[in-house]
Amino acid sequence: MGLSRSPSQQLRAIRELKKEWKEINRRTLNEGINNLYKSKLVETKDSRDGTLTLVLSKEGVRVALRYNIDNIAIKNPGHWDKKWRMVMFDVPERLKRVREALRMHFKNMGFYKFQKSVFVHPHPCDSEIEYIMEFYNARKYVRFVVATEIDNALVLKKHFQLS
């Protein structure tokens, strides 16, 4: 706009900008809806007026009722299956708050801080990690690994008081 002297050209640029802005929002919305479909937490219902409605699936209701993001915890099954759960993330600087929130949640859930963005836990926690990734829309930045061996297992066993 700063390069255009003509008011009509400036108005045209503003209209185009408005269209592009709406398109960006639509893309974000479509991406979010697709992620919900993939997670199987929502399903569609046809309305009488021909529109489509998104509703929580049975699994979505169960997950929504099961978790409270501020009080999410990993249950101790009583025995260790000799597997390590590793959560790794690489969140861009522009999403620093998301990165810090992930660290806070993993620490509060009892994970061992293996590296700055790598956390380890001995008990099953895939559904809890799934919930956190969805809550923060951070799926593309987070990786979850189940490992049978790790080089500092003695330190981890001592930390988690495992035999």
pTM for the model: 0.62
The pLDDT value given to residue 48: 81
Q: Show the low-confidence residues of the chain (pLDDT under 50).
A: 1
Q: What share of the chain is helix, strand, coil (3-state, %, to 5)?
A: 50, 20, 30
What integer pLDDT is reported at residue 26 of this predicted model? 72
- pLDDT at site 34: 80
Specify the pLDDT at position 1: 44
Q: How do residues 50-75 score in pLDDT, each as one tens digit?
A: 777 778 888 777 666 566 787 888 99
- Whole-number Cα distances in Å, 109 to 6, 33, 42, 85, 157: 59, 28, 26, 13, 17
Tell me what pLDDT residue 3 has: 56
Which residues is 121 bridged to in the sheet?
A: 85
Strands (E), the chain: 42-46, 52-56, 84-89, 112-115, 118-121, 142-147
CA end-to-end span of the chain, whole Å?
Answer: 68
What secondary structure letter does DSSP report for 156?
A: H
Q: Distance between CA atoms of 140 and 83, rounded to whole angstroms?
A: 24
Residue ranges of domains in the chain: 7-61, 70-160
Q: Any idea which fold 70-160 has?
A: Alpha-Beta Plaits (3.30.70)
CA dist., res. 23 & res. 25, Å (int): 5
